[in-house]
Amino acid sequence: MAEPAQQKVFAPWEDPTEKPIIRFEGVTKRFGEFTAVDNLDLKIYRGEFFALLGPSGCGKTTLMRMLAGFESPTEGHIILDGQDVAPIPPNKRPVNMMFQSYALFPHLSVWENIAFGLKREGMEKDRIEARVSEMLRLTRLEQFARRKPHQISGGQRQRVALARSLAKAPKLLLLDEPLGALDKKLRQETQFELMDIQEKTGTTFVIVTHDQEEAMTVATRVAVMDHGKLVQVATPAGIYEAPNSVYVADFIGDVNIIEGAATPRSTPEGAQVEIAWAEGLAPIIATPTEPVSAGQKVHYAIRPEKILVSREPDMARANRVQGKVIDIAYLGNISTYRVRLANGQMISASMTNARRLSRRDFTWDDEVWLNWTDGAGIVLTR
C-alpha cells in the first residue's frame, strides 16, 4: 500500500491511551424477528479509514445507518466523540453519508448539490462559495459545476456525491458501497482517489463494502461481519495473513482449506503442530498461532501463492506433496494450478509468470510437487 513515509505508523488501535471517535457498546438491532446487528462492540479511531466488509445481509449497512441516524439501536449505545448519539436526529449529527445510489438531487446543479448542506447550516454566501469551490477542486469537478447530475458521467457523479458529503466537514463520513456502480478500471482509480482525499481532509471514513479487494486497498482496518457479528477486526494484512477463522480466511482472497487432526509437538525452533489430514500422506507441519490440544480437529488454511510448484521436491520446505495438474488458470501476471493429490483433494497453487508462456514449466497432467514451509499456512480452530 502507498503509505507516505511517516516516522510513526498510523495505528491508534494499538495505543491504549487513544480515545476512539466512535464506540459501539453492546449494540443490537432487531427488525421484528430478524436480528441485523447482534450485541456488537467496536471502536473506530480518528483519522481511520475503516471498512465494514461482509456478504449482503450481514448487518454492515444497518450498522452504518445507525451511525447516520436513520436507524436507532434496539439495545446498546453508540458513542460519537464522547457523546451518546441516540437522542440526536440525523440532520443534527456531525456525520454525513455518501449513498450507494449517490442520491444526487436531480433538479439541482452540481454546484447546488454540493452547497445544499452548507445552505441548510445558514452559512454566509461568500463562505459557501469558497467551500464549494474548494470541494470542486478537491474532486476535480470545476468544469462541471453548472451541469445537472444527468449531464455528467457515472464517475463524475460519484465524485459529486463525495464532494457533497464532505462539504460540511463532518467528523465522520460514511460511504455505502461508494464504488459499486463503477466499472472495474474506474473503481481501482477511484479507490486511490478516495484514499488521497481521506488523507488530505483527515476525516474519519467508514466504508461499507462487499468487495474484499476494495476493503483491503483503501482501509486502515477491516471489520469482517457475518450474521450481525464482527468475526475479525484487523489491518488488511492481518486479515489476510492471520485470519482468525475459516470464515474470514475463505471470505478474503483464495485459500485452500484442509481439515485434519492436530498433534502438538515441541521442537528447538518452538511449538509446532502436525496435522494428519489424509491416510498415506505425510502430516502437514505447521506453526500454530494459538494453542491446540492433541487430537483436536483443526482447519489448515494455505493461500495458493504461498505454495511452490516444482518438478522435484524442494527439501528446504517442510511440507511436500505430490499431485497431478488438472487445470491451469492463466491470468496474465500469475497462473493458478489446480492440482489433484493422491487422496483426491484439490489444491490451488499460483505462480507468477516470470517467463513467457511458451516456456512454461508445467502443463496439464504433469506430475508436480507442491512445497510450502511450516509458517506458510494458518492453523484454525474455528
Residue 291: which residues within 8 A CB-CB, separation 6 or more?
A: 264
Dist. CA 314–CA 308, nearest whole Å: 9
Applying CB under 8 A, among 91, 266, 333, 363 the residue interacting with another protein is 91
Dist. CA 382–CA 198, nearest whole Å: 35
In the complex with another protein, the residue whose CB is nearer, 99 or 362, is: 99
In the complex with another protein, the residue whose CB is nearer, 105 or 192, is: 105
Smallest separation (angstroms) from another protein to the CB of 368: 52
Residues 141 and 158: beta-carbon distance below 8 Å: no
Residue 150: which residues within 8 A CB-CB, separation 6 or more?
A: 106
Q: What pairing do the DSSP bridges indicate for beta strands 95-98 and 172-176?
A: parallel
In the complex with another protein, the residue whose CB is nearer, 8 or 107, is: 107
In the complex with another protein, the residue whose CB is nearer, 6 or 91, is: 91
Give 177-180's long-range contacts (Cβ < 8 A, gap of 24+). Answer: 177/100, 177/208, 177/209, 177/210, 178/98, 178/100, 178/207, 178/209, 179/209, 179/211, 179/214, 180/100, 180/209, 180/211
Hey, which residues between 113 and 152 contact another protein (CB under 8 A)?
116-117, 120-121, 148, 150
105 binds another protein (CB under 8 A): yes
Number of H helices, E strands in the chain: 8, 20
In the complex with another protein, the residue whose CB is nearer, 32 or 344, is: 32
Smallest separation (angstroms) from another protein to the CB of 107: 5
Which of the ranges 112-120, 178-186, 214-222, 269-277 carries the binding residues for another protein, by CB under 8 A?
112-120
Smallest separation (angstroms) from another protein to the CB of 133: 18
Which of the ranges 40-48, 93-101, 263-271, 324-332 carries the binding residues for another protein, by CB under 8 A?
93-101
Smallest separation (angstroms) from another protein to the CB of 77: 21
68 binds another protein (CB under 8 A): yes
In the complex with another protein, the residue whose CB is nearer, 104 or 138, is: 104
Residues 272 and 286: beta-carbon distance below 8 Å: yes
Dist. CA 257–CA 347, nearest whole Å: 9
157 binds another protein (CB under 8 A): no
**Residue 217 carries which DSSP code?**
H
In the complex with another protein, the residue whose CB is nearer, 151 or 267, is: 151
Using CB under 8 A, count the residues that bind another protein: 26
Smallest separation (angstroms) from another protein to the CB of 84: 19
Applying CB under 8 A, among 62, 96, 209, 232 the residue interacting with another protein is 96
Residues 264 and 251: beta-carbon distance below 8 Å: no
Hey, which residues between 257 and 316 contact another protein (CB under 8 A)?
none
Smallest separation (angstroms) from another protein to the CB of 8: 34
Which of the ranges 14-22, 164-172, 216-224, 260-268 carries the binding residues for another protein, by CB under 8 A?
164-172
Q: How many C-beta neighbours within 10 Å does residue 86 have? A: 13
Residue 140: which residues within 8 A CB-CB, separation 6 or more?
A: 159
Smallest separation (angstroms) from another protein to the CB of 117: 4
In the complex with another protein, the residue whose CB is nearer, 40 or 166, is: 166
Dist. CA 59–CA 35, nearest whole Å: 9
Applying CB under 8 A, among 97, 218, 222, 368 the residue interacting with another protein is 97
Applying CB under 8 A, among 23, 43, 159, 168 the residue interacting with another protein is 168
- Tell me the C-alpha to C-alpha distance, in Å, between residue 101 and each of 118, 161, 188: 21, 9, 19
Dist. CA 194–CA 111, nearest whole Å: 20
Applying CB under 8 A, among 164, 187, 299, 303 the residue interacting with another protein is 164
Query: Which spans of this chain sit near another protein (rule: CB under 8 A)?
Result: 68, 70, 89-92, 95-97, 99-101, 103-107, 116-117, 120-121, 148, 150, 164-165, 168
